[in-house]
Amino acid sequence: MKDRVVKTMKTMLLLLILLRVVSGRRTQLLKGLPATSTVEENAAAGVSVYTFNVTLSPLSSEGVAILPTIVNSNPLTEAFDIESKGDLEYRVVTTGNPVLDYETMPKSFDLQIFVEDTTGRTDLSILTVQVTDKNERPVFRGNMAFQTVMIYVLEGTPQGPIYQVDAADPENAKLKYSLLPAPVPFLVSESGAIFSTKEFDYEKDPHCYFLNITVTDPDGLNLTKTVNINIININDERPYFTIKQRIYRIPEEQSPGTIVANITAKDPDDEDSPSRLFYSIQSSDRYFSINPSTGVLQVTGRINRDALPLWLHPNISVIVRVEDSPSGGHVSEMEITIIIDDINDNPPECHPSTFRKEANENTTAGTFLLDLRNYCKDTDADPSNNQFHFTGLSGFGSNNFALESTVSGRLVMTEGIDLENPANLGVEVYSLTVRVQDIACPNYSNIIYIYIRIKPVNEFFPVFSNLSYEFNVPEITKVGSSIGRVNARDKDWPPSVITYSIVAGGGTRDYTNIFWISPTKGDVKILARLDYETTQKHILTVRASDQEKTATASVTVNVLEVNDEEPVCSPNFYSFQIPVSLAVGTNINGFRIECHDRDSDPRSFRYFINEGNVNNHFTFSPSAGSNTSRLILASRFNYESGLDTNWIYRLRVYITDDNLLSARDKATHLIKTGTVTLSIRVIPNPTTVIPTTPGFTLVTKRKNLYSESAWYVPFVITLGSLLLLALLGYLGFLLATWVRTRCPPAGKVDGTHLRNAPGKKKPKKEVVVTMTKLNTVFDGEARDPVTGKMYEFNTRSGARRWKKSCEPLQLVPAAQVTSSASTDGGQGTDRADAPRKKEPSEKRKEPMAETKPAAKPWAGQSETPEQEGLRLQKPKEESEDRGLSSPAPQGRYLPPLPFSQP
């Protein structure tokens, strides 16, 4: 990467110089150039090629601005550079990178040399460098160019060529080969081939030859390399054994690796060096093996004289083979005999050699445990060697046991063992050893291991560390927390495994037991949340058991009171409207909240509005020290100046139970907070607020703690819900049947069909629509603060409508209209439905829209409002008999104002 950067910089410098040459003032500054010079190939770095001077103008007193530089060469090369000799004299030298080679590189180079003085004058001249040829030494090629060549020749190989020397002359001249020393059985030909002049015998001739091969060019330049020729021996003789002994004697039961004999042999082919022979056993033998390299015969398997087949034939024959090659060589064989001598080598043996017995603690003295002779024997054939006896009863606790006699081998207890006795150190298992030994020499013996386990007897009851336990637990302790530990022990050894359980107490109305005890550790934990307000104390009965004997203890759990109940207020949600002109200090709509807390004093409540109280218009009085508080208007609304912009306030009230706590106690005590949400809509004057029924939502939070013992609760609830749904469905079916039987069809009145109904058509049911238009007098006007439009309102009822600019205030008569569905295609129904279908589009188009004209009376008759009122007062049956339709009411449609109650 670095070389690439340097080359790039050089290229940019050369381009800048060429631009200066083209655009600058050119003057003859290089004295002695252009010129032609020569240099020999292979010239070392720093060889001078040509010398020239730089001539400066008298005006250039400061010297040369850009030293003479080779800006280009043809062909490109970095083999030349310019050095300063002093006094404006410079020379072109070789760099040695690359080294000039006449045979492989161009024969001539044109170097462009550039110079510039301080006045800006430049000069560019060419120096032609011609490379001259030089006679070079010949060179070896191939392996001989880098190392000494090793040539291997087998003995008995016929004479002839054994190696070809490869050499070349840089000038392609013909080369001459020679060989030294002369009195060797080799020669070299004019082409460089090395020949052997005899057939070599490894046993008679030298094993190695060093030849100096010299190659010379016509001018006498030469080069010498060494060739090493090695004569390789071949196997042509048969090996022979050099030992004379053929019979050997060893005792039985020799350990593996015991040397029986050292078999030696010789190979005539290796007279001057150790023979490289290979030994093996030809006969199938499991007792002996021979080292294939050294010929050492040694024991590899157990040799038992007292077992077949050696008990009948104690002689073993082995055939040993020697060969001078692992495969396909010359071979010789020899038979040797090995006699096995008998010895007393079998110790008495017991099967099994390890015994395990059990005895209860406090077993009486003299109790028989084990007869060893029934399990032991000696396998020697000679009766004098198979007699044995028992000795050496030892081991920890052996004083508690004894052998009746050394011959019988009967083991008995000498005294009872109590595991709880400190003298026994709580030992459960006694490890004993008994030696069974040959009477005859060399007195071989074996060890018998006896393990006697004393079975403990459960003699003692568990005992608690305390007769009763008392734990104080805050009621907010997390479910699953450990609240204390009970501990019980008994005096039995080894210590009994004691398990703990709760056998009584700890139950509540919702849970059979809210406590759990660890069966192994005795840790008491809670399974459900404790509640001081419900139960202040729990008394448990805990049992400790060692699987046979039990003990009980009393555990009292005192529940400590903690402030964990949130204040609950009623109502916790309220929505109402107030006029914008409401006086400051007014109890808004008489609203007050009443709070209670199961674990706090009524005076501990504190009230504050946390969210939604923009410009602090609202407050509570009293703000603390009471369980009831009223909502007060704290400041007037100011919409005219733009200070207030919200018409709807959603207040989030926080009620805390920390009023009676000091500032220091508030940082450490647990404080609970209740919330109340209020929605207040401000109605601008002079609109009268329509009284609404106060409403609130009671939110009850319950936490369901599931108990595995109450699995039946969801089942019973689900089953009861299904039965209730089935009962309601059945009652609905009975009601529908009763209605169908009690009410006649809508198409008949006293059994008579409608007059206009066709004879075969089913009578249609009448749809009676009653529309009432109130006689409302709009006696006031106001401007809507949101849209800026004028609207009219009634000061008594609060009704309002948008006002048209050209319409004066007027009274609208009240009317009641009844429209019946006609039997001629249902035209009356369509007309009555039409205004309702158009309401959404009309609201978007114009807030003051009028309905369509009333439909014409049936049969072309018209009715006055007085007649219409009289007709509406008649019974419904009369209207159905006459089949008359009512004209649609006339009036205006008022869309709801933007600030109307949602």
CB neighbours of residue 181 within 10 Å: 10
- Which CA distances in Å does 320 have to 146, 291, 332, 572, 637? 50, 11, 9, 113, 128
**Digit-coded pLDDT (tens) for 606-652:** 888 988 888 888 998 888 888 898 999 989 888 888 888 889 999 99
Is the separation of the CB atoms in 120 and 131 below 8 Å?
Answer: no
Is the separation of the CB atoms in 619 and 634 below 8 Å?
Answer: yes
Residue 142 has pLDDT above 60, yes or no: yes
**Digit-coded pLDDT (tens) for 531-549:** 888 888 999 999 999 988 8
Rounded mean pLDDT, 719-732: 93
Residue 558 has pLDDT above 90, yes or no: yes
Residue 14's pLDDT is what? 61
Residue that the structure tokens 């392996």 belong to:
143
pLDDT higher at 210 or 867:
210
Q: Tell me the HSE value of 240 on the side-chain side, using a 13 A CA sphere.
A: 6
**Quick one: which of 678, 674, 564 has its CA closest to 627?**
674
Is the separation of the CB atoms in 49 and 72 below 8 Å?
Answer: no
CB neighbours of residue 404 within 10 Å: 13
Residue 451's pLDDT is what? 92
Task: List the beta bridge partners of residue 64.
Answer: 117
Residue 408's pLDDT is what? 84
DSSP letter (8 states) at residue 713: H
Rounded mean pLDDT, 394-412: 86
Residue 748's pLDDT is what? 46
pLDDT higher at 863 or 145:
145
Q: Tell me the HSE value of 439 on the side-chain side, using a 13 A CA sphere.
A: 11
Rounded mean pLDDT, 40-50: 87
Q: What is the rounded end-to-end Cα distance, in angstroms, of the chain?
A: 78
Helix (H, G, I), strand (E, B) or coil at 144: helix
**Digit-coded pLDDT (tens) for 451-465:** 988 888 888 899 999
Residue 6's pLDDT is what? 54
Is the separation of the CB atoms in 469 and 556 below 8 Å?
Answer: yes
Percent of the chain with pLDDT over 70: 77
**Which H, E and C letters describe 512-556, residue by residue?**
CCCEEECCCCCEEEECCCCCCCCCCEEEEEEEEECCCCEEEEEEE
Q: What is the pTM of this model?
A: 0.34
Query: Which value, to the nearest 10 degrees, does the dihedral of the CA atoms of residues 308, 309, 314, 318 take?
Result: -140
Rounded mean pLDDT, 12-34: 66
Residue 792's pLDDT is what? 83
Percent of the chain with pLDDT over 90: 22
Residue 665's pLDDT is what? 67
Residue 845: pLDDT band (50, 70, 90) is very low
Amino acid at 756: N
Tell me the C-alpha distance between 568 and 533, whole Å: 15
- Which CA distances in Å does 190 have to 167, 177, 195, 223, 465? 12, 6, 12, 15, 115
Is the separation of the CB atoms in 369 and 357 below 8 Å?
Answer: yes
Tell me the C-alpha distance between 541 and 502, whole Å: 6
Rounded mean pLDDT, 63-89: 86
* Cis status, amide bond into 34, omega within 30 of 0: yes
Residue 895 has pLDDT above 70, yes or no: no
Residue 662's pLDDT is what? 72
Residue 496's pLDDT is what? 83
CA of residue 727 relative to chain centroid, distance: 56
**Quick one: which of 37, 123, 116 has its CA closest to 80?**
37
**Digit-coded pLDDT (tens) for 188-218:** 888 889 999 988 888 788 889 999 988 988 8
* Cis status, amide bond into 519, omega within 30 of 0: no
Residue 442: pLDDT band (50, 70, 90) is confident
Residue 861's pLDDT is what? 37
Maximum mean pLDDT: which of 327-331, 703-707, 870-874: 327-331
**Quick one: which of 315, 329, 376, 322 has its CA closest to 350?**
376
pLDDT higher at 746 or 232:
232
Residue 9 has pLDDT above 70, yes or no: no
Residue 729 has pLDDT above 50, yes or no: yes
**Digit-coded pLDDT (tens) for 474-491:** 988 899 999 999 999 988
Tell me the C-alpha distance between 414 and 397, whole Å: 11
- Give per-residue burial for 611-633: e unless 16+ CB within 10 Å, then b: ebbeeebbbbeeebebbebbbbb
Tell me the C-alpha distance between 816 and 768, whole Å: 12
Is the separation of the CB atoms in 190 and 176 below 8 Å?
Answer: yes
Rounded mean pLDDT, 656-667: 72
Residue 502's pLDDT is what? 92
**Digit-coded pLDDT (tens) for 102-116:** 878 898 999 898 988
What count of residues does the chain have? 902
**Digit-coded pLDDT (tens) for 791-811:** 887 877 777 888 875 555 444
**Quick one: which of 782, 763, 885 has its CA closest to 828?**
885
Residue 7's pLDDT is what? 62
Residue 852's pLDDT is what? 37
Q: Which token pair is 654?
A: 């926080």
pLDDT higher at 835 or 633:
633
Residue 710: pLDDT band (50, 70, 90) is low
Residue 619's pLDDT is what? 92
**Quick one: which of 563, 545, 564 has its CA closest to 553?**
545
φ, ψ (nearest 5 deg) of residue 485: -140, 140
Tell me the C-alpha distance between 539 and 505, whole Å: 6
Residue 880's pLDDT is what? 37
List all residues 6 or more positions away from 585 whose beta carbon is below 8 Å from its beta carbon.
632, 633
Residue 759 has pLDDT above 90, yes or no: no
**Digit-coded pLDDT (tens) for 304-325:** 888 888 878 889 999 999 998 8
Maximum mean pLDDT: which of 155-159, 384-388, 655-659: 155-159
Residue 264 has pLDDT above 80, yes or no: yes
Rounded mean pLDDT, 170-194: 86
In terms of phi and psi (left: phi > 0; alpha: psi -120 to 50; beta: otherwise), the region of 272 is alpha
**Quick one: which of 154, 149, 237, 152 has its CA closest to 199?**
154
Is the separation of the CB atoms in 195 and 159 below 8 Å?
Answer: yes
